[in-house]
Amino acid sequence: MKNTLLLFVFLPLLVAAGKVDYRKYSFEKQVKKSENIVWNVTYCYNARDVSSPRVLLVGDSICNGYQKLVRSKLGEKVNMTFWATSYCITDPAYLRMFDVILDGGRFDLIIFNNGLHSLSTDRKAWKKAYSMALDYLAVKVPETRIVLLNSTPKKDDDKRVDEINKLTSEIAKERNLPLVDINSFCSKWSKKMWRDNYHFVGKGKEQQAQFITEAVLKYIGKTSKGIVQQSSETGPDGKLK
């Protein structure tokens, strides 16, 4: 009887979730040539805690670089999930993977970035795909606050980053969504802060993590302290602390 009641409770939720078809918000065919190496990295920290506030960070290798530090800085206030990927948002597989991650839990806030792996993508196609992804999020997670994050500068001052960020800013204004400007934050840095043309040394990651942490706490609203971050023995590189 107990299992039957649970079924009746959750069945409407499952039916409602099934109505969100990510394919309606994706291109049917790929518009950008695939990279030689494609990758995804995603962690859901403190996954058993489903009652405390949770943020989802979405980005690329820059996100992957600062995510551990952000998790540490959020500490007892907010749980964190992140998805870092090399996929351009125009790829038909992008929302398929995103859909799986969003089905994995409830999120109070999503900080959303896509751009550095899209520098050679047709700009009209990229803007259309980015807008469709936001349409999808509005239907998929209507109660979740969405905040846009632009892309960090390259060491060589590649102007294509500015082009992508300009489109991101336009979309933020069109949809009345907050935009976190990490590009301006990093643009004033010395070239010594870059490890290579894209990535940053430890000091840079630390400052980016603090910047992102402040954005999370600003947009997620008031939180109560007391979250216990549980470790795990099953991390891919050993124990997660």
- Two tokens, residue 176: 């009345």
Q: Note the pLDDT tens digit of each residue in 123-155.
A: 999 999 999 999 999 999 999 999 999 999 999
As a whole number of angstroms, the distance between CA 145 and CA 220 comes to: 8
Domain ranges (residues) in the chain: 36-221
Phi-psi region of 53 (alpha: psi -120 to 50; beta: other; left: phi over 0): beta
Spell out a b/e string for 92-108, using b for 16 or more CB atoms within 10 Å of the CB, else e: bebbebbbebbeeeebb
- Token pair 């010594």 is at which residue? 192
- Two tokens, residue 135: 């349409």
| Full 3-state SS string of the chain | CHHHHHHHHHHHHHHHHHCCCHHHHCCCCCCCCCCCCCCEEEEECCCCCCCCCEEEEEECHHHHHHHHHHHHHHCCCCEEEEEEECCCCCCCCHHHHHHHHHCCCCCCEEEECCCHHHCCCCHHHHHHHHHHHHHHHHHHCCCCEEEEECCCCCCCCCHHHHHHHHHHHHHHHHHCCCEECHHHHHHCCCHHHECCCCCECHHHHHHHHHHHHHHHHHHCCCCCCCCCCCCEEEECCEEEC
As a whole number of angstroms, the distance between CA 10 and CA 116 comes to: 39
pLDDT by position in tens, the chain (length 241): 434 333 333 334 443 444 789 999 999 998 988 899 999 999 999 999 999 999 999 999 999 999 999 999 998 999 999 999 999 999 999 999 999 999 998 999 999 999 999 999 999 999 999 999 999 999 999 999 999 999 999 999 999 999 999 999 999 999 999 999 999 999 999 999 999 999 999 999 999 999 999 999 999 987 777 888 887 777 666 676 6
- The answer, as to whether pTM is greater than 0.95, is no
CATH annotation of 36-221: 3.40.50.1110
Q: Give the per-residue pLDDT at 7.
A: 35
As a whole number of angstroms, the distance between CA 148 and CA 151 comes to: 10
- Token pair 């649970």 is at which residue? 6
